[in-house]
Each structure stands twice: as C-alpha cells, then as structure tokens.
Amino acid sequence: MSAYNSPSTVLITGATGSIGSALAQAYAGAGQILFLQGRNTARLQEVAEFCRQKGAEVHTKVLDVRNLDELRDWVSTVSQENTVDLLLPTAGINVNIGPNGQGETWEESSALIEINLVAAMAVVDAALPAMRQRGSGQIGLFSSLAAYYGLPLTPSYSASKAAIKAYGEALRGWLAPEGIHVNVIMPGYVESKMCREMPGPKPFLWSPERAAQVIKRRLARNQARISFPFPLNLGTWYLAVLPSCISQRILQLLGYGH
Ligand SMILES: NC(=O)c1ccc[n+]([C@@H]2O[C@H](COP(=O)([O-])OP(=O)(O)OC[C@H]3O[C@@H](n4cnc5c(N)ncnc54)[C@H](OP(=O)(O)O)[C@@H]3O)[C@@H](O)[C@H]2O)c1
C-alpha cells in the first residue's frame, strides 16, 4: 500500500479547529506520527492527548501562522527529520462585510490573506524540498465551495479560497510526475467557530467528523478535487458557469447577496 493510501506521518496546521482536530483524530492510531499546530495551547494539548490515547505519537507546536519565519522553520525542520507523508494546512479565518454591508476593514482582509493564502503557501514551500528529494508525499490544500463564485458577503475569503484552489490545481499538474500528490479540498458548511460566525444561510451543514472521514477517504484515492456536499457543490459550480447577472440574482434570492 503506498503512503497516500495510508499516510503514517501527518502534519496539520489549525489542529485546534473543528476540521483540523477532527482530521487529527481521524489519522490518529497505533504507529501514526502526528505533528499538530495551533495557537490555543489548552485546546492543542486536549487534541494531542486524545490522539495519544488512540496510540499515536504526537508532537505539538504553538505558533501564529502569520509568523512566517517561525512557521517555515518548523515545517522545514519536521520535513527534514521525518518522512511527512501528508501535509494538511487547515488554519484559516473568515471575515465578512458586516450586517449593514459596511465592508471589511483592510486589517481584516490583509490578515485573512496572510493566514488563508500566504501561510498555506509557506507551509507547502517549506515541506516541498524534502518531498521532492524523496519523490513522494501528499498535500491537501483547504479551499472552499466559495472558491467557485465570489460570495458578496465574504469578498476576501472568497478570493483567498479561489487562489488556493488555483494554486493547488497548478501544483498538482507540476508535481504529479515527481510522485507528489496535491489535492484541493472544497468543503461546504461544516460546523465550526468560523462557520457559525459566517453570515447567510448554511444548508447541508456537516459535522467536522463526517467531513474528516470523507476528506480522509478521498485523499486516499488521490481525488484531485474533494468537494462536498453534493447538492451545494453542484449549485456553487453552476454559479461559476452561468452568466454573472443570473448568478448574482440567485445569490440575492438565496440570502447571500447584499
Ligand atoms: N467550516 C466550514 O464551513 C468551512 C467551509 C469551507 C472551508 N473551510 C476551511 O477549512 C479550514 C478549517 O476551518 P474550520 O471550520 O475548522 O475553522 P475553525 O474551527 O474556526 O478553526 C480555525 C483554525 O485556524 C487556526 N488559526 C486561525 N488563525 C490562525 C493564526 N493566525 N495562526 C495560527 N492558527 C490560526 C485556529 O487556531 P486557534 O483556534 O488555535 O487560534 C484554528 O485551529 C479553513 O481553512 C477553512 O477556510 C471551512
């Protein structure tokens, strides 16, 4: 069985979040080695302890991913000293235009781009040399269904997730011949702090555990685009192919407009 069918060393950023912690728990087990990052120390220890109880060896790192030098140093060291089979940069935030459409502040938008896009790219960049040298490894990048068509309520978030989608697709084509698998993960609504704080309706809301199991299964199949749930995936995909005036109208009617 190849490493991407059953990765034994997994590095996860945002392991204190809903999806990140559910993924850590999904990959925990005897013989597994997990490198978990978060900012919330107490929560990180709680997640690590749960994974240890399932038999995994767990290493934790508390850091703010906006500290790019520290982030790159950590990922690079872990990657040189271990065979990281699977890299999951899940850390992310969401901001929105506010209840009266007043708009995102520049501070919010730039922090979001740093966390959702630049930090995720920094993690990939720091892990890639070791993966390329040995000709194996897998990277699951967190986009969102909001990447298909920008949602008026969350412009910066939509932009960050569209950028990650394009980045992951490009990396997949570039790195496949070298034996490195890159997957773009596009969840719909998954119960979490970020999701709760997001404005607009949240149809087909999934639990983080369900999302983690589906992500794990489809990563094992090396599926290029891991998007779910089906009805919302189809609907948001259509928004991208319909004429924009129709897509905007649909978003207004469904409560995502302004
Ligand atoms: N939930 C959804 O509906 C949904 C849908 C589509 C895509 N996604 C994507 O899935 C990923 C995980 O989201 P989630 O729902 O699990 O969110 P969440 O529960 O709110 O967790 C967010 C995670 O990001 C970490 N984080 C945020 N800012 C950070 C920073 N500056 N430095 C270090 N860590 C930071 C948090 O760490 P601390 O808590 O320790 O600060 C936490 O671990 C995100 O990339 C998100 O965009 C989520």
What radius of gyration, in Å, describes the C-alpha atoms of the chain? 18
Quote the ligand 1 centre to 17 CA distance (angstroms). Answer: 5
Task: Please give the pLDDT value at position 4.
Answer: 67
Per-residue model confidence as pLDDT tens digits over 36-59: 999 999 999 999 999 999 999 999
Quote the ligand 1 centre to 91 CA distance (angstroms). Answer: 4
List phi, psi (to 5°) of 147: -80, -25
Asked if 22 and 208 touch (Cβ cutoff 8 Å), the reply is yes
Q: Is a pLDDT exceeding 70 seen at residue 186? A: yes
Hey, CA dihedral for 125, 119, 60, 2, is it positive or negative? negative
Which residues does ligand 1 sit against, CB inside 6 Å?
Answer: 14, 16-20, 38-40, 64-66, 90-93, 115, 142, 144, 187, 189-190, 192-195
- Pick 9-254's CATH classification: 1.20.1250.10, 3.40.50.2000, 3.40.50.300, 3.40.50.720: 3.40.50.720
Q: What percent of the chain has pLDDT over 90?
A: 94
User: What's the rounded mean pLDDT across residues 85-94?
Assistant: 98
Quote the ligand 1 centre to 141 CA distance (angstroms). Answer: 13
SS3 254: helix
Task: Please give the pLDDT value at position 144.
Answer: 98
Quote the ligand 1 centre to 14 CA distance (angstroms). Answer: 6
Task: Please give the pLDDT value at position 2.
Answer: 59
Nearest ligand 1 atom, CA 22:
16
pLDDT, averaged across the chain = 96
Q: How far is Cα 247 from Cα 55, in angstroms, rounded to an integer?
A: 48
Task: Please give the pLDDT value at position 257.
Answer: 80
Pairing of strands 180-187, 225-228: parallel
Q: Is a pLDDT exceeding 70 seen at residue 3? A: no
Per-residue model confidence as pLDDT tens digits over 213-255: 999 999 999 999 999 999 999 999 999 999 999 999 999 999 8
Nearest ligand 1 atom, CA 191:
1
Task: Please give the pLDDT value at position 256.
Answer: 86
Nearest to 186 by CA among 141, 222, 216: 141
Nearest ligand 1 atom, CA 208:
16
Q: Hunting for tokens 């089979």 — which residue is that?
A: 85
Residue 201 tokens read as 């309706």
Going from N- to C-terminal start, the domains of the chain cover 9-254
Strands, E, within the chain: which ranges?
9-13, 33-38, 57-62, 86-89, 137-142, 180-187, 225-228
User: What's the rounded mean pLDDT across residues 21-44?
Assistant: 98
Q: Hunting for tokens 């970020």 — which residue is that?
A: 194
Residue 240 tokens read as 């991208």
C-alpha neighbours within 13 Å on the C-beta side of residue 220? 13
Per-residue model confidence as pLDDT tens digits over 62-84: 999 999 999 999 999 999 999 99
